A and B are shown apart, each in its own frame.
Chain A
Amino acid sequence: MKLMASKIALGLCAAFIAQGALAQQDTLKIGALVTLSGPGAAWGQAMKNAAELAADKVNAEGGLEVGGKRYKVVVIPYDDKYQANEAVTVANRMIHEDKIKYVIGPLGSAPALAVQPLTEKNGVITMTMGFTPRALSPEKPYSFRAVVTTAEFSQPQIDWVVKKEGIKKVGGLFPNDESGQAIAKDLQSSYSKAGADLTSEFFERERVDFVPLLTRLFARGIDAIELDGNSPATAGLIVKQARELGFKGKIIRTGGPATADIVNVAGKQAANGMLVHSVLDPNLPSTKAYMDAYQQKYKAPMNGFSPSFYDATNMMFEAMKRAGTVEDTKKVRDELAKLENFPGSLGVLNWTGKESYGSNQQLDLPFYVAEIKDGQEVILARCNTKGCQ
């Protein structure tokens, strides 16, 4: 009995000491302001998980070491439901209650623009996925983008696809919001520069029945359907319904990784032959390592955008290390912008964007044109902002 009691007492002491030791460690909070419900949730999950994986890796090494202190990294996710006003409310909470200074997200263009006045004013560094060109500018030094947008990749990709497939008339289906409209505009000019003609149809983001819209497009005698800008689930539905209506032409998606979901919804047969934009090469060892880690932790198919945000989080960590502080976000921001040839899971990363946006806050990533064969992406061409082979 006495032995038991003293064992328990020892145990409790040890627990208290251990807890005390852990409590000595500071925490670094990374916010994930992403869409976790509704269309677009696939991307939001990918972003959140990327931040979590980056945090796990650093914590496994004992925490992030910055300026002589060790920080336990904690990811705090919030769902903005892809709505701008939700994003604003959430951002308010993150900044003022949780005192978060580093944010992965927002996902959508509209939420990104809506929270910028808040994040810029409070010096909060954000890594967004929003495609709108308005998200980046020298007046918004704390906003960075971790994915290449249509403005960067559409021309090289479309040039290559139009030439290879001999496409003349394209019908595009886009959601009627900031991202959809911005993407449609970019694609229109890219297609016309490549010698083809794009007509666009817009629809409510929640729509599930595309048969009337598709019928309208087919009436124009199109060779191909363009699906960029649609959430993965929606794209899958369009592919499924287009094939069900007997469409034999090419289906193209010049952007936005969505293959896993498209194949899931449309089925392997319908998705076969689709030409997509891919952001990763699964044969690259660093990418494969990330994909395996993702699969192991989450046991779910990984959306192609995830590695970008893994890299983005790691770049933020590196910037903090170089600045020697996690509190002074101006210093961190400057170090972040200075990073060159950063070894990320997707390859060697640099910042770009001065020509288009006025300052280099856009991540420059390699990308690929791939074809879906039997449910998997097969790379047909490798590209960068200059062109594809």
Chain B
Amino acid sequence: MDYGILIAQATINGLIVGLLYLLMAIGFTLVFGVMRMVNFAHGEFYMLGAMAVYVFTVHMELPFLVAVCLSFVVAIVFGSLVEWVVFKPFRHDELNGMIATIGLAMILQNLALIIFGPDPLSVPPVAQGVTQISGVYIPNSRIFVVFFAVLVLALLYFYLKKTRSGRALRAVVEDFKIASIQGISSKVYYPLGFGVGVGLAAIAGALMAPLFSVSPFVGAAPLLKAFMVVILGGLGSIPGAAVAGLALGLIESYASLFLSASTADMLIFLVVMIMLVLMPRGILGKGEV
């Protein structure tokens, strides 16, 4: 196999995976930006999204797109509720809030275990077959996912830049003190911020559900990725998360081409640790410290 095609294949693989990391990471960094909370339960909301899609498509036989939208709605509502009821006392209490999210993660995962059992469940694929572009193979199901991820990101961008509510949310993320002086109600925006953040995780989970199997355990790996992307991109920086998400996907893809899988994993952790120490503000330098 000639190297050009190999690299091209790895690039495409990397970008596709990177897009999904991006979705996870943006939600994660949004939650941190709004509430200064490292959300250890973020992966469980990913799982929630995947499970919701499973229920909607397999048990209620709804079309996939409807299922994804419904999952998003469920996640936003549930997330907002949880923030308002459970996490209110922890706003801006970084460490305690983080530990509280660990508790939430345990509860969510085990509730899912009780309801769905530990076995992996299958969601029917959205598209079959593979597209070939000059020697590079892209599974059609992944093209579908890319399309929708990009759509979601476009909608998010529009929301954050053009709508009043979105701009208010951004203001809270960037500087909550000034935002509250300006009269932006924390009563509304904290739950909303958390809800949107975990909603994005749920969409990532929903989109991935047909690609990989669905089980109560699927949340751990995406959480780890979200951590790494957000560290690389700078905590609280949305553009940083975007760039770092794609970068991580690419780095992983290229690394596993040339190194064994375990070496690639270790290398990435090492890179993350180095970044944290040398550039805590992230690649774009826009993160908070």
Contacts and interface: CB of A to CB of B under 8 A. Distances in A.
A208 B80 CA distance: 30
Given A212-B252, A244-B130, A244-B139, A219 B6 contact: yes
Contact of B119 (A41, A202, A216, A246): A41
Contacts of B137: 245-246
Contacts of B17: 209, 211
Interface in A153-212: 176, 201-204, 206-209, 211-212
A45 to B, nearest CB: 8
A219 B217 contact: no
A212 B218 contact: no
Q: Tell which of B13, B221, B261 has the most Cβ of chain A within 10 Å.
A: B261
A220 B265 CA distance: 22
A245 B141 CA distance: 11
Interface in A256-295: 261, 264-265, 267, 269
A204 B224 CA distance: 14
Contacts of B122: 264-265
B111 to A, nearest CB: 14
A99 B221 CA distance: 39
Name the interface size band of chain B: 35 or more
Given A206-B221, A245-B139, A176 B257 contact: no
Contact of A215 (B10, B213, B260): B10
Interface in B165-202: none
Contacts of A264: 122
A233 B121 CA distance: 9
Given A37-B113, A208-B213, 15 more contacts: A38-B217, A176-B262, A202-B260, A204-B262, A206-B220, A206-B221, A208-B212, A209-B212, A212-B252, A212-B253, A212-B256, A218-B1, A219-B6, A237-B213, A265-B213
A221 interface: yes
B285 interface: no
Interface of A: 36-38, 41-42, 176, 201-204, 206-209, 211-213, 215-216, 218-221, 233, 236-237, 241, 244-246, 261, 264-265, 267, 269
A-B pairs, top 7 by smallest CB distance, nearest first, are A244-B139, A37-B118, A212-B256, A208-B212, A233-B120, A246-B137, A219-B1
B132 interface: yes
Contact of B260 (A37, A201, A244): A201
Given A41-B119, A265-B122, A236 B130 contact: no
A208 B9 contact: no
Nearest to A241: B139
A236 B119 CA distance: 13
Contacts of B128: 269
A42 B1 CA distance: 37
Given A208-B218, A236-B213, A36 B130 contact: no
24 contacts: A36-B118, A37-B113, A37-B118, A38-B217, A202-B262, A204-B265, A206-B217, A207-B221, A208-B212, A208-B218, A211-B13, A212-B10, A212-B252, A212-B256, A213-B256, A213-B261, A215-B6, A218-B1, A241-B139, A244-B130, A244-B140, A244-B141, A245-B137, A264-B122
B228 to A, nearest CB: 15
Given A204-B261, A209-B212, A216 B139 contact: no
Q: Tell which of B119, B137, B221 has the most Cβ of chain A within 10 Å.
A: B119
A370 to B, nearest CB: 22
Contact of B13 (A36, A212, A265): A212
A289 B137 CA distance: 46
A212 B15 CA distance: 12
Contacts of B262: 176, 202-204
B256 A216 contact: yes
B130 A245 contact: yes
Interface in B82-141: 113, 118-120, 122, 125, 128, 130, 132, 137, 139-141
A201 B139 contact: no
A265 B122 CA distance: 6
B13 A201 contact: no
Interface in B195-249: 212-213, 215, 217-218, 220-221
Contacts of B6: 215, 219
Contacts of A220: 1
A269 B128 CA distance: 10
Contacts of B217: 37-38, 206
B254 to A, nearest CB: 9
Contact of A233 (B142, B213, B256): B213
B221 A208 contact: yes
B118 A38 contact: yes
A182 B9 CA distance: 32
B230 to A, nearest CB: 20
A94 B243 CA distance: 52
B150 to A, nearest CB: 19
B93 to A, nearest CB: 32
B259 to A, nearest CB: 9
Contacts of B13: 211-212, 215
A37 B6 CA distance: 37
Interface in B3-62: 6, 9-10, 13, 17
A204 B261 CA distance: 8
Interface in B257-282: 257, 260-262, 265
A202 B120 CA distance: 21
Contacts of B221: 206-208
Nearest to B221: A206
A244 B16 CA distance: 14
A269 B262 CA distance: 32
Contacts of B213: 208, 233, 236-237, 265
Contacts of B125: 267
